[in-house]
């Protein structure tokens, strides 16, 4: 099966969120399972610099505002997955964030930058690389949303089937909506600007285009697949998603074991594994305790194992519910707990967390920024990882927490609901619990879950059972890779 993943970020070369982890791990897992999976990415500086052995495939001349557009083919470091790179310096050769300028304003020509991505995907299905044509074009998020539309347009023009298409929603809140006048620059047939097409409340919507034209739609957890069909989480697209419900699947993301594994992780102070988390009678994993002590030292927190250490690794956005964590800080501090947050984003949240750290230096530590290595140290060191999201398509950090014996405390929403089992009495009794789950998106909801976490921390034997159960969960990419392959087969035969 020849599959082209169309995406904008790939870990470790370029990452602003979980999409990068998926775009690195899923094609690699598919290749391991015998699929000929490749990726297509814009030539952002970090991708141009990091993709190996780039050779020209085609010269395309001027397109979408780029003066000279070329398609190159290289390979991803580590996995060796084949990567097509669009070399269009006028469009992509900009420092920093791939989507926005230094003041965090979206680039005004984003519609051209990402239309080019979708257009090249369709051109590859038409035979732009004579040596390789995809049977499936798999578009990720709004940036790739026009790929299924260009593919449909090319099929209508040629009267032949070129490739099947899949649109994956990693986050429905980001839709790529632009004023209607941009439609004239896209080179799509005029009748595509329609409610049955790319039009969305008078605008052009890249994500809606993908959702409308793709043969199949997926999102990254079964619960989120249900939630986005309701108005509360549907971001205005729930009606379309309901009409396409039979083509919509929720496939849970995996975790790349080569990157996130406490037994081998080169970024943490000491290694440990599930065998050390021996359940009821056993001691806590010694390696994990060493990681906690090292982080407390590094962060200037009081060095105490008795203090449960709560950690947060997150974008600081409204979605992530971190105002609930701010509200819960007094409870954590009063009960003798500690908390360390790593994140960046919303300026007001950054300021508030920094103020809390200044007020309680022994129990609250905050690092503003994006730091992959520190993220590993935090997740290995923590006793509990907090993910109190308002909505969460899949969520990765709670999965890392499970693997690292760091009990997730999460809101029952999206992929968090699918991956964490609450430490209720009955789940504790049956040794099923893996963390703490709360429903109500308010101070009372998170507060009650935190009090349960403190109570369990006092019950050492029970804590270790929950920790061991979490560490035994399997979140490999193989299951997801097989699920996607079955879906591709459905639409190519």
Q: How far apart are CA 45 and CA 104, in angstroms?
A: 18
Q: Which two tokens stand for residue 155?
A: 């099929």
Whether residue 423 contacts residue 431, with contact meaning beta carbons closer than 8 Å, is answered with no
Give 140's strand partners: 168
Instruction: Say if CB 237 and CB 172 are below 8 A apart.
Output: yes
Give the nearest distance from C-beta 344 to ligand ADP in angstroms.
Answer: 5
Residue 133 or 344 with smaller CB distance to ligand ADP: 344
Of 19-48, binders to ligand ADP (CB under 6 A) are 21
Contact 372, 17 (CB under 8 A): no
CA distance 170 to 220: 6
Q: Please, which residue, 70 or 170, has the CB nearer to ligand ADP?
A: 170
Report the DSSP pairing between strands 203-205 and 199-200.
antiparallel
| Total residues binding ligand ADP (CB under 6 A) | 17
Letters for 364-393 (x = contact with ligand ADP by CB under 6 A, - = none) are ------xxx--x------------------
Residue of the chain from 98, 134, 395, 405 that contacts ligand ADP (CB under 6 A): 395
Binding flag, residue 174, ligand ADP (CB under 6 A): no
Q: Where are the beta strands (DSSP E) in 135-175?
A: 136-140, 164-169
Phi, psi of 204 (to 5 degrees): -95, 125
CB 311, CB 318: distance < 8 Å: no
From the number of C-beta atoms within 10 Å of its C-beta (0-12, 13-18, 19+), residue 22 rates as buried
Residue from 112, 221, 296, 314 in contact with ligand ADP (CB under 6 A): 314
Considering the complex, what minimum distance in angstroms separates the CB of residue 174 from ligand ADP?
10
Q: Which of 29, 116, 352, 396 forms a contact with ligand ADP (CB under 6 A)?
A: 396
In sequence order, the β-bridge partners of residue 11 are: none
Write each residue from 82 to 121 as x if it is in contact with ligand ADP (CB under 6 A), else as -, in one continuous string: ----------------------------------------
Least spacing, CB of residue 333 vs ligand ADP, in Å = 22
Cα–Cα dist 5/7, whole Å: 6
For ligand ADP, the closer of residues 268 and 342 by Cβ is 342
Contact 388, 364 (CB under 8 A): no
Pattern 273-312, ligand ADP, x by CB under 6 A: ----------------------------------------
Provide, rounded to whole angstroms, the least separation between the CB of residue 389 and ligand ADP: 8
CA distances from 352 to 4, 22, 238, 330, 341 (A): 43, 32, 35, 13, 12
Select 267 or 482, whichever has its Cβ closest to ligand ADP.
Answer: 267
Binding to ligand ADP, residues 229-268 (CB under 6 A):
none
Give residues 110-169 in contact with ligand ADP (rule: CB under 6 A): none
128-136, 242-250, 294-302, 395-403 -> range binding ligand ADP (CB under 6 A) = 395-403
Q: In terms of CB distance, is 107 or 370 closer to ligand ADP?
A: 370
Nearest CA among 273, 265, 139 for reference residue 209: 139
Contacts with ligand ADP, residue ranges (CB under 6 A): 17-18, 21, 313-315, 342-344, 370-372, 375, 394-397
């Amino acid at each position: 099966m020849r599959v082209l993943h169309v995406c904008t970020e790939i870990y470790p070369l370029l990452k602003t969120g979980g999409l990068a982890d998926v775009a690195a791990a899923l094609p690699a897992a598919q290749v391991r399972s015998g699929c000929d999976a490749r990726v297509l990415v814009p030539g952002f500086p970090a991708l141009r610099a990091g993709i190996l052995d780039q050779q020209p495939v085609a010269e395309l001349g001027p397109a979408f505002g780029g003066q000279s557009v070329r398609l190159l083919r290289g390979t991803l470091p580590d996995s060796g997955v084949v990567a097509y790179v669009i070399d269009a310096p006028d469009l992509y050769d900009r420092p920093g964030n791939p989507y926005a300028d230094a003041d965090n304003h979206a680039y005004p020509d984003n519609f051209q930058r990402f239309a080019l991505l979708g257009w090249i995907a369709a051109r590859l299905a038409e035979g732009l690389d004579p040596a390789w044509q995809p049977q499936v074009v798999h578009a990720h998020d709004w940036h790739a949303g026009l790929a299924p539309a260009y593919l449909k347009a090319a099929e209508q023009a040629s009267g032949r089937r070129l490739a099947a298409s899949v649109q994956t929603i990693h986050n429905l809140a980001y839709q790529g909506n632009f004023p209607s006048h941009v439609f004239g620059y896209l080179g799509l047939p005029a009748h595509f600007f329609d409610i049955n097409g790319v039009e969305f409340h008078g605008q052009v919507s890249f994500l809606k285009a993908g959702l409308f034209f793709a043969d199949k739609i997926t999102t990254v957890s079964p619960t989120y697949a249900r939630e986005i069909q309701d108005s509360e989480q549907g971001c205005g697209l729930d009606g379309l998603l309901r009409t396409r419900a039979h083509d919509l699947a929720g496939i849970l993301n995996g975790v790349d074991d080569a990157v996130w594994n406490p037994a081998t992780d080169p970024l943490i102070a000491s290694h440990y594994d599930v065998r050390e988390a021996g359940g009821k009678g056993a001691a806590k994993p010694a390696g994990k305790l060493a990681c906690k002590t090292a982080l407390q030292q590094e962060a200037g927190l009081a060095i105490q194992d008795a203090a449960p250490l709560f950690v947060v690794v997150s974008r600081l956005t409204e979605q992530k519910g971190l105002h609930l964590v701010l509200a819960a800080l007094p409870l954590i501090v009063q009960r003798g707990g500690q908390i360390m947050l790593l994140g960046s984003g919303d300026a007001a949240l950054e300021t508030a967390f920094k103020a809390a750290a200044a007020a309680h230096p022994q129990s609250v530590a905050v690092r503003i920024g994006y730091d992959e290595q520190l993220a590993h140290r935090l997740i290995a060191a923590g006793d509990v990882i907090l993910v109190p999201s308002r909505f969460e398509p899949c969520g990765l950090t709670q999965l890392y927490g499970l693997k690292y014996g760091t009990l997730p405390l999460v809101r029952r929403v999206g992929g968090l609901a699918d991956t964490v089992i609450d430490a209720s009495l009955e789940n504790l009794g049956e040794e099923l619990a893996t963390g703490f789950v709360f429903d109500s998106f308010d101070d009372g909801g998170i507060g009650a879950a935190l009090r349960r976490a403190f109570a369990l921390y006092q019950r050492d034997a029970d804590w270790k059972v929950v920790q061991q159960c979490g560490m035994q969960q399997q979140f490999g990419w193989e299951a997801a890779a097989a699920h996607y392959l079955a879906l591709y087969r459905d639409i190519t035969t």
